[in-house]
């Protein structure tokens, strides 16, 4: 018998196939595993990422939607809210409830109402508007603060070479 998580992920995949969303594509890594998705995000206009294609893996826990997935870029990316291993750090991907560090409100963290679409749209928004207040990549945040376009832009472009 299919789990609640499997049924929900199957529905979300079907919805995205029927109604694709501009800015990204998503599908299963392996047709036999609904819990691991391959995502390609197109760099948003008017950002350092414009015109780029950024691949990521979205891994869902067995108790989805009660717990958030993890998202890890497989394309190297220089961003204040992406760890050096590619893992995305945004509030909606943090476990539900109170933040033990006191940086986020519970309402900003994971909620079962989020979908694959809302998660990826939040990541696209993160690319457009980094949160340098709580960085996963301190060096990227500092370079963004020091010289908003030039330092981060030069670092990012050097990664592409």
Residue 160 in this model has a pLDDT that exceeds 80? no
Note down the domain range covering 102: 4-160
Q: What is the tens place of the pLDDT at every residue in 91-146?
A: 999 999 888 887 888 899 999 999 999 999 999 999 999 887 778 888 887 777 66
37 closest CA partner among 64, 9, 18: 9
Question: How far, in whole angstroms, is CA 87 from its chain's centroid?
Answer: 8
Q: Can you give the pLDDT at residue 5? A: 95
CA 95, CA 75: separation in Å to the nearest integer?
25
Q: Can you give the pLDDT at residue 75? A: 96
**Structure confidence at residue 2 as a pLDDT band (50, 70, 90):** low
Question: In the chain, how many domains are there?
Answer: 1
Prediction pTM value? 0.86
Sign of CA dihedral 34, 57, 71, 127: negative
- CATH number of the domain that 132 lies in? 3.10.110.10
Q: Encoding tokens for residue 119?
A: 């998660």
CA 25, CA 39: separation in Å to the nearest integer?
6
Average pLDDT, the chain: 88
Q: Can you give the pLDDT at residue 155? A: 53
Q: List the catalytic residues.
A: 89
């Amino acid at each position: 018998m299919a789990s609640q998580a499997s049924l929900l992920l199957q529905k979300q995949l079907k919805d995205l196939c029927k109604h694709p969303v501009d800015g990204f594509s998503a599908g299963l890594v392996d047709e036999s595993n609904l819990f691991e998705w391959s995502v390609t995000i197109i760099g948003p206009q008017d950002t350092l990422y414009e015109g780029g294609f950024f691949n990521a893996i979205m891994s869902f826990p067995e108790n989805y939607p009660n717990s958030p997935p993890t998202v890890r870029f497989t394309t190297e990316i220089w961003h204040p809210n992406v760890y050096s291993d590619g893992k995305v750090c945004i509030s909606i991907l943090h476990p539900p409830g109170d933040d033990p560090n006191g940086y986020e409100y519970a309402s900003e963290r994971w909620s079962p109402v989020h979908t694959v679409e809302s998660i990826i749209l939040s990541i696209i928004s993160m690319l457009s508007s980094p949160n340098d207040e709580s960085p996963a990549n301190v060096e990227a945040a500092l370079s963004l603060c020091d010289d908003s376009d030039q330092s981060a832009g030069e670092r990012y472009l050097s990664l592409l070479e």
